[in-house]
Amino acid sequence: MGVYAITILLSVIGFLVSSQLKSKFKKYSGYFLNSGLTGAEVARKMLMDYGIQDVQIVMGQGFLTDHYNPLKKTVSLSPEVYQGNSIAAAAVAAHECGHAVQHAKAYPMLQLRSSLVPVVQVASQFQQFLLIIAFVVMSQFPALMLITIGTFALTTLFSFVTLPVEFDASKRALVWLEQAGITTSNEQAGAKDALKWAAMTYVSAALSSLVILVYLIFSFARR
């Protein structure tokens, strides 16, 4: 199977996982919390409970663009999460605050992930271009293929380092939501389901990156 066929197959899998995540988010956005708290209120309460006072909750733009920025110390929530008072909003808000808790507690995998960001950003900018060129001139310039393999190795490492960071943030979020009484038992099940599919997008990305990396290594070995 050629690299293009593999890329298309992995893209389809990624699309299906992403579609399922959007479907789950839409489903649980229709179930409102008994507590009536919005995502922003959930986030503020979680940070307060953990004694974190130097992280700001802000409303971002776009759909499912929620993230924690460790440099600016901001939890950016999409409008649906920031203003929403649904199970989905609470789960996503608590998850992003889970990253803030990781940062405050110096969670090793988050520190490792943050240290890789600058290098991975550079590598990811060039790897698609390198991928195309490397296969065209691999026999004449094998070093170019080695560089391409190196960039994919970096992004693959980053993808797999991201997994425990995301799973841990979800675990922290779910434990806190239950212990703080933000969610009932039925709401907790919905929050867990929503975060599971959010995590699956990272699993899909990591496996896709690994498959391409392995393919590149075998292609280079068979040249």
89-139 pLDDT tens trace: 999 999 999 999 999 999 999 999 999 999 898 888 877 777 777 666 655
Predicted confidence at residue 149, as pLDDT, reads 87
Single out the residue of 135, 149, 58 nearest to residue 100, CA to CA: 58
Residues 6+ apart with CB under 8 A from 95: 66, 169, 170, 173, 195, 198
- Alpha-carbon gap, residue 9 to 6, rounded angstroms: 5
Structure tokens at 164: 């425990």
Q: Average model confidence (pLDDT) for the chain?
A: 89
CB 163 within 8 A of CB 203: yes
Both tokens of 78, joined, read 């999409």
| Most confident option among 145-149, 176-180, 201-205, 218-222 | 176-180
The number of angstroms, rounded, from the C-alpha of 107 to the middle of its chain's C-alpha atoms is: 16
Pick the range with the lowest mean pLDDT from 32-41, 164-173, 197-206. Answer: 197-206
CA 108 to each of CA 111, 113, 117, 121, 175: distance values in angstroms, whole numbers, following the listed order: 5, 9, 15, 20, 20
State the Cα–Cα distance between residues 173 and 165, nearest whole angstrom.
12
pLDDT at 1 over 60: no
Given a cut of 90, whether residue 216 has pLDDT beyond it is no
Q: What per-residue confidence (pLDDT) applies to 162? A: 97
Domains in the chain: boundaries: 3-221
Q: In whole angstroms, what separates CA 64 from the centre of its chain?
A: 11
Please state the rounded mean pLDDT for residues 13-17: 84
pLDDT over 70, % of the chain = 92
Q: At residue 34, does pLDDT exceed 70?
A: yes
pLDDT at residue 152 tops 70? yes
pTM of the prediction? 0.88
> Residues 44-63: what's their mean pLDDT?
96
For 181, the 3-state DSSP assignment is coil
